Chain A
């Protein structure tokens, strides 16, 4: 590739498949990255920044990375101007409104007039309920969101589900789907121009790497 690229890579759930795809696209991601924050691909063609998934859009927007891989769910939550150039298809999950089965919201029971919503996805939740004109209080949590309706902290939750196992285990059901998320390749708008050839090549290779 003509220019050396800096790629923002999400640690956590998306990491393994991201590394696999990058390798398939010809970027020699080292096997063991340990606890490092940055790694250079074995062939020196790319610099990888290993980031918390929620930080990927910021790095790309400022151009600290030329491009990055990130779940659509993260993009919903951040208002960053990055170009979403490819849907990489993996890491599929849905952002849903869920509640206790016993409350019957999934069968048409009416929400309380002032709904309490617990979520890690405050922005998406706010948008969803505002668009439906449902007054609500958004309770921002950082984990184990499904606990909150069980102990009376909230009426419903907005959270990601992949298989639905966690919901079932807590006797909760999906009330509505807000959106479907997969991993996306995002690009800094100015770098798209400045490193055009290298980025187009990477985009094409990553799109084909999934097939």
Chain B
């Protein structure tokens, strides 16, 4: 029996490793006092569509139940959580801090780091409009990758309002502005040049420069004079504040501003960030402010969220020379007594009970093979402990 494309099995050892990473992530989430939630794998197509951009809509697995209701598998967790919050947690005191570790499903060309079923861990901070919430999302993501063992991860930050402000100052609006934003997000300099020629926009060279720019306070200083709207100026101030706060944590060198970082344009309304390591060609985590999402579910509150791809972390770690000690899966092998096994389990040990009625020699051979450090053999009321 073959599996369909884009999904995979997890065999015991690799699954243990995956669970370990998920536990590390959960621990970080708990220390930031986020409460874990879970939504169903599928729900009504209509509810999921409310939050999704065009790309994710095309990648949604859809089906009907026997009564003809249109259903869809979740492609990510933020939309279901927005639905959950607007429907079930409307009376909860804001801000709300919710986290998840859950699978998502997308119909895409299966490739490295991009499967049709994948696990995302993420956190949503709902009901806080300010820079504090944005800093919390970023710093929490940084701590998470650190905890997972990726201390060399770098983070790029931006605020979508900055590009808006610069483009508006250049005289672009509506559809032209959006088209231009897409080109900036793709960092498509060639198409930006063509756009410039066909639309006769003045001072477009600075927009191309902005697209290629990367730095810290230096680039804020360069871009400030180009920003004419109060929103874009405020956005620059916020980025500056985040850099200042990162410095106190000793993280300033790991953060850069990339004005072309816009992520999903339909989703993010302000602050955005992405985390990556140099040896992988795709990002590990990302997020930002999406104040427009909850209002689509009739609950007018701002929100910041971020997520990390669990499989992507595994891929990143796989490429490292991490100490691949054989894992001690079993602490003790017990033969012939339920009570002895129960007592060992009560100590919190991983206990394996012999169910094949093995002889003493066979038990020892098995323990050696499986690297089990202790064997307890109960025969006629006596318990013999052996180190194999």
Residues of chain A whose beta carbon lies under 8 Å from any beta carbon of chain B = 60-64, 81, 83-87, 184, 187-196, 200, 203
Contact = CB atoms under 8 A, between A and B. Distances in A.
Nearest to B212: A200
B276 A84 contact: no
Contacts of B189: 83-86
B193 interface: yes
A108 B310 CA distance: 57
Nearest to B278: A194
Nearest to A193: B156
A84 B190 contact: yes
Report the contact-size class of chain B (Cβ under 8 Å from the partner).
Answer: 20 to 34
Given A64-B281, A87-B193, A188-B281, A194 B187 contact: no
28 contacts: A62-B111, A63-B280, A63-B282, A83-B188, A83-B189, A84-B187, A84-B191, A85-B187, A85-B190, A87-B190, A184-B190, A188-B281, A189-B187, A190-B276, A190-B281, A190-B282, A191-B281, A193-B156, A193-B214, A193-B276, A194-B154, A194-B276, A194-B277, A194-B278, A195-B278, A196-B214, A200-B212, A203-B212
Nearest to B261: A193
A13 to B, nearest CB: 20
A72 to B, nearest CB: 8
A85 B213 CA distance: 13
B186 interface: yes
Interface in B178-208: 186-191, 193
A60 B186 CA distance: 14
Contacts of A196: 214, 256
Interface of B: 111-112, 154, 156, 186-191, 193, 212, 214, 256, 258, 276-283
A28 to B, nearest CB: 24
A60 B256 CA distance: 22
Nearest to A62: B281
Contacts of B190: 84-87, 184
A47 to B, nearest CB: 14
A203 B191 CA distance: 16
A64 B189 CA distance: 22
A192 B156 CA distance: 11
Nearest to A88: B190
A64 B111 CA distance: 13
Nearest to A63: B281
Contacts of A84: 186-191
Contacts of A87: 190, 193
Contact of B187 (A62, A63, A184, A192): A192
Given A62-B281, A63-B279, 4 more contacts: A86-B189, A190-B283, A193-B258, A194-B276
B281 A193 contact: no
Contacts of B111: 62
A187 B186 CA distance: 10
Pick the 9 closest A-B CB pairs, nearest first.
A63-B281, A83-B187, A194-B278, A87-B190, A84-B190, A190-B276, A84-B188, A188-B281, A85-B189
A200 B111 CA distance: 28
B385 to A, nearest CB: 52
